[in-house]
């Protein structure tokens, strides 16, 4: 039995604690040097599926012991990992990408933190962020909303709940469900720009943009395979409203709400009464 402290590839022993390790979302070349280092040097790797993680470990020539873990694990199993992390290095990976992002780990991290155990996170691939960097949609504000529900009513409820959010919305989806989700989006937001980022970092990577209806027609004719990030651009009026608010605020610096509304109405062609109501609102904020 090896009783010495685990060593990383750089020859420095890993300190005890919980290491959250991001792994590739398709292209194994995306594993980070530090991730390999920690996976090689830790005492145990907690993973969702030992077959999936086993392939990655084999690719990286890592022979560390694996142990199955997900958030449905019993308190006893989680407690055992936490206990181990008090004196040993425990790594957590998911099947792909960043653990805890629509993947297990939340409970483990929470319990570890509550127990005063050192938790550190090694950043790496994440499908939501990769999709966001490809889609060409505004990304100064985005909201990641996980998987859209499968059932029609629940899906519509979620979309309606997010309708007012002034940000790009990011969802996880799968090939067989994409057309139905796009049809639901087309019913609610016919004008918002949508992007489907599919099979990211893999051989058949693609990112397709258009209205939800256009994309639904495309995937009806060419059924989508594989893994998908679905992105919906912010409401068009968001940008416009922001501009109008900015114009009104500028005008209100020197003018009364009524005069400011008149000025902005002349500049934008917007309804003067509506602008006046907004100007009064802004003035009293």
List interacting residues with ligand SAM (CB under 6 A).
Answer: 25-26, 94, 96-98, 101-103, 126-128, 172-174, 197-202, 227-229
Quote the least distance from Cβ 104 to ligand SAM, whole Å.
9
Quote the least distance from Cβ 130 to ligand SAM, whole Å.
7
Strand 119-122 relative to strand 17-21: parallel, antiparallel, unpaired? parallel
Quote the least distance from Cβ 148 to ligand SAM, whole Å.
10
Nearer to ligand SAM, 202 or 259 (CB): 202
Nearer to ligand SAM, 149 or 262 (CB): 149
Nearer to ligand SAM, 67 or 174 (CB): 174
Nearer to ligand SAM, 27 or 258 (CB): 27
**3-class SS at 240?**
helix
Give strand pairing partners of 21. 122
Nearer to ligand SAM, 66 or 128 (CB): 128
DSSP string, 102-122: SSS-HHHHHHHHHTT--EEEE
- Whether 249 contacts 285, CB under 8 Å: no
In 3D space, the residue among 229, 35, 215, 53 whose CA is nearest the CA of residue 130 turns out to be: 229
Quote the least distance from Cβ 63 to ligand SAM, whole Å.
24
* CA angle 257–261–263, rounded 5-degree value: 120
Please identify the residue of the shown chain whose CB is closest to the bound ligand SAM: 97
Buried b (16+ CB within 10 A) or exposed e, 222-231: eebeebbbbb
Quote the least distance from Cβ 93 to ligand SAM, whole Å.
10
């Amino acid at each position: 039995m090896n009783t010495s402290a685990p060593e990383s590839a750089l020859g420095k022993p890993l300190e005890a604690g919980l290491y959250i390790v991001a792994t590739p979302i398709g292209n194994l070349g995306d594993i980070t040097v530090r991730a390999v280092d920690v996976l090689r040097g830790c005492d145990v790797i907690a993973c969702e599926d030992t077959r999936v993680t086993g392939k990655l470990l084999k690719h990286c020539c890592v022979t560390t012991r694996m142990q199955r873990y997900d958030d449905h694990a019993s308190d006893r199993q989680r407690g055992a990992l936490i206990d181990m992390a008090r004196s040993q290095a425990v790594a957590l990976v998911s099947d792909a990408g960043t653990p805890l992002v629509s993947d297990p780990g939340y409970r483990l991290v929470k319990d570890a933190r509550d127990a005063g155990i050192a938790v550190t996170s090694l950043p790496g691939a994440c499908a939501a962020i990769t999709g966001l960097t490809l889609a060409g949609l505004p990304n100064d504000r985005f909201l990641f909303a996980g998987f859209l529900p499968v059932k029609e009513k629940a899906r519509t409820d979620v979309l309606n709940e997010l309708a007012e959010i002034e940000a790009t919305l990011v969802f996880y989806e799968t090939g067989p469900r994409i057309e139905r989700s796009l049809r639901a989006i087309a019913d609610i937001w016919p004008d918002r720009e949508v992007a489907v980022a599919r099979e990211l970092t893999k051989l058949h990577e693609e990112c397709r943009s258009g209205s939800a209806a256009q994309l639904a027609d495309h995937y009806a004719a060419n059924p989508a395979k594989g893994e998908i990030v679905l992105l919906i651009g912010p409401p068009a009026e968001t940008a416009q409203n922001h501009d109008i608010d900015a114009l009104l605020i500028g005008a209100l610096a020197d003018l009364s709400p009524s005069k400011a509304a008149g000025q902005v109405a002349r500049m934008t062609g917007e309804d003067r009464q509506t602008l006046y109501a907004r100007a009064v609102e802004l003035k009293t904020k």
